[in-house]
Structure formats: C-alpha cells, structure tokens
Structure 1
C-alpha cells in the first residue's frame, strides 16, 4: 500500500513549494504483513494517512550525500531487521537504513498485549477502566517510540509525532499469523 501527500500540502497560493524535510509517500512491504484484522487495517490506514499529511523526516546520510527530499519511503521487516528504503525527490535511491528489531521485541509484545486487553475491555469494562487501559497503551506506545527515536539517532532527523506513527507501522509489520 502506498500513500502520497495530498496536493494541497505541496502548493502554496498557486506557487509550487516543496518541504524537503518530509516523507512524501510511504509504502509498506505487503509480504511483511502476515495477517490483517479489521482493527489492524484501520490503524495502519490512519497511521499512513496521518504520516504523509504531517511529518518531519530527513535521512542524515542521504542529505549529506546531496540527496534532497521530499522522501519516498518503503518499510519492510526482513531477517529480523526493519528496513527503510529511501528515495529522493528525483526518485533516485538515497539509501537503506536497517535497524535490528530485537531491541523492539519486548515493547511490541507488551503493546500487542495491552491492545488485546483494551479491545476485550471495550465489550464489558467501565469508562474509568477503559481510560486506565488506554493510558497504559499510550504509555507503552510512547516507550516504543522513544526506542525507535534512539535507534534512528544519527541516521534520521525526525520529531516525536513522526516517530510515533512509524512505530505504529513497525508494529503492523510485526503481526504474526
């Protein structure tokens, strides 16, 4: 699946302006996604849409080598590595960032467990109980986001909101069938 930024993000008052420090399109490697529930598909769609509409992303080495964004990004999980294949505004390969996923395994497992608890609680829990579980879910998600930002440090300049959406997509790529 690929999503591109809407045209209104790339134009300002009839004059073409491009923010180079952003992701223009993002594609998930469909072979990495083994199972899709309706909930997962919905979260993936929201994360993809939100990411292309508002993000801050500059691959450090690509920029140092003269590549200019906006960037096209393809995410895949292969051989226990998260791969970010990057292309520049001209469509040229601008690099591949590979991160070992072992460091994310525990937080992803915890995130899946709390999400499962949350979705089960939706059927029978009170509003305060749901709020407590949701706060825990957000806390675990934020911890995973910080892990991702640490892993990207020196490789990609990004903000917390962008990293948070990327962490959601990392989770989607880790769902086992």
Structure 2
C-alpha cells in the first residue's frame, strides 16, 4: 500500500504547469506482483490528482508528461509532450542521497498501518507526525536536488518522492551495455499498438531472460484498446510511452522484428547492427472499423497471435540458440 501524504484536491484542468501523464519504463521498472503494480498506480494517481510541475530553462509550455526509468543508481525523469511524447527535458536523479529516507519511508509506513489496526489514538498520532516529518524532509531534499532542473512545489515533491519509493525497490539494475542477455527490438509505425504489445509479451514470457524494446518509425499516442486487452492477460500497458527509432541509444540487437510495412526501410536507414532482421506480417487493429466489440476482437486477435509467435520465435534466442531460423 502507498502511504498517504496529504489531503487530495482536484486538479485545475486549465493549469499548464502540471503533469497530466506519468509512465514507467517497463525495461527498468519491473514487477509481476499485482500488489506492487497497484502501489505504483495509486502513487501515480495521487501525483496526477494535484501537482505543480514544469521543467526549468526550457520554453516548452505545459501541461507535461513524465516518463520514469532507472539507470544504475539514478532515477531518470524524462519530461515529454503528453500528446506527441516528443522529448522536452531529461534529468538524472541520484538515489544515493535518498537511501536513508527511502528506508525510513518503508519503516514508518509499516508502523503507520500497524498502528491503524491496533494502536491507541495517541500512538497513531505519534507515528503520523513522524510520517509527515519524513515526507517533508524528503520533499525539501528532492526540490534541492532538482533545483534549476524541475520547478515543483512542496506537495508535488512529497507525492513524487512517494512514487520514487513505490518503484525503486522493484527496479531492474541490469546495465544493458554490459548485459549478456539476448536483445530484441520490435518496430512498427507508431509504437502505439503492435510493437509495444510484442515487447510486453516477450518480457512476460521470458522474465529476466531477455531485453525487449519497442519503437516506432514515427511517434504515436497511447492506445486505450491496447490497455484493455493487455490488462486481460495481466500486463499493465498504461505505463507505456511511445518512442521512435531516432531515440534509440543502443545500436546492436540480436534480433530486430519489423511489424509494419514502413519498418524495414526505417531500420535499414538507422543502420542498426542486428544478428537478424525479420518481417512479421500482422494486421493493424487500429484500422478495423465497427463497434467496440468488433474492434476489441481485432486487438485480442493481434495479442494472441503475437503471444504465440513471440514464444515460438524467442525460445531458441533465450536458450542460447542462433538468431536466424
């Protein structure tokens, strides 16, 4: 459970200096435990419900989207346009100065919920005062560390710290540049439907055994039908942020799988080093016309098709076999 921070107020929809979207990098923040995923969702909901947020030293106007990942010992706070997901600013926040406060967060959180269950009112008040003091200290430190990078008020800093606490214990500390895990890249037109579904299914099928990424030739938007059909198989896609080929840092993949007609040429132009490049012919369900049930049926068919193909194709790669078939 996420430990509450303060009274929740309704966000002003006309306010521009605010976050309207928060997403988590599925490659570095990983969990298959529904309780942990629920904790992330509550922390994100609290942050989005009321916040004051804008990047410093940039001319971009809000509102903003925040994409969070963990690289080594740092949280990456990647600020983007919420409609196009185009990058605006990105900052690395070292976790080292927050280690004691993060430990205190979990210690006091557990004591708080234990007190609610069995303690006297004065004991609950004592724990609650310690909880608030810890949150205030963490929020001030967070604002100091982000000075001249992100402009946030105290309540936003408190809620952002809660989210950092919620995600960091479950972070993957894999250094992809040094990892010997096999790598696969899925590419489609917009990184909204086909490629993110395939990458998520690969991570679910081979947890901790493969690095699976997805990008688009062009930027797209989050797709609510994807969220629904993936939720049905226990995968939370609400944390997905569309990315494009030009944002890729890695240049080598053991296998690149193209899922749209425009992907092979774009991959060739990018000059990626790949053990193998394949083209999978799969339908784009976003082009299907009909009522909601018809469209959802098309999305489910894509999901199930990709689930089968991903398992069959990547088994040999994960087991140490050849990339080529």
TM-score grouping bracket, smaller chain normalisation: 0.7 to 0.9
Q: Distance in 1 between matches of 2:78 and 2:60?
A: 14
C-alpha distance after superposition, 1:122-150 (max 9, x if no partner): 33211111111111111111111111111
Q: Distance in 1 between matches of 2:142 and 2:148?
A: 12
SS at match of 1:32: coil
1:157 matches 2:151: yes
On the 8 A contact 2:55/2:150 being kept in 1, the answer is: yes
1:126 matches 2:120: yes
TM superposition score normalised by structure 1 = 0.77
- Partner residue of 1:75? 68
- Partner residue of 2:29? 32
1:12-161 aligned at under 5 Å gives the runs 18-30=14-26, 31-34=28-31, 38=35, 44-61=40-57, 63=58, 66-89=59-82, 90-161=84-155
> Which range is displaced more, 26-35 or 103-112?
26-35
- Partner residue of 2:203? none
On the 8 A contact 1:34/1:175 being kept in 2, the answer is: no
* CA displacement at 1:173 relative to structure 2: 1.4
Which of 1 and 2 has higher RCO (CA within 8 Å, sep 6+)?
1
Structure 2 segments unaligned to the other structure (5+ residues):
1-10, 172-325
Q: Distance in 1 between matches of 2:111 and 2:76?
A: 30
Which of the two has higher C-alpha Rg?
Answer: 2
In structure 2, do the counterparts of structure 1 residues 36 and 110 end up closer, same or farther at CA, with 3 Å as the change threshold? Answer: farther
In structure 2, do the counterparts of structure 1 residues 49 and 35 end up closer, same or farther at CA, with 3 Å as the change threshold? Answer: same
What is the Cα-based RMSD across aligned positions, in Å? Answer: 2.4
TM superposition score normalised by structure 2 = 0.44
SS at match of 1:86: strand
Which of the pair is proportionally richer in strand?
A: 1
Q: Distance in 2 between matches of 1:43 and 1:137?
A: 18
In structure 2, do the counterparts of structure 1 residues 29 and 49 end up closer, same or farther at CA, with 3 Å as the change threshold? Answer: same
In structure 2, do the counterparts of structure 1 residues 36 and 119 end up closer, same or farther at CA, with 3 Å as the change threshold? Answer: farther
* CA displacement at 1:67 relative to structure 2: 2.3
> Which range is displaced more, 83-92 or 99-108?
83-92
Structure 1 segments unaligned to the other structure (5+ residues):
1-7, 11-17
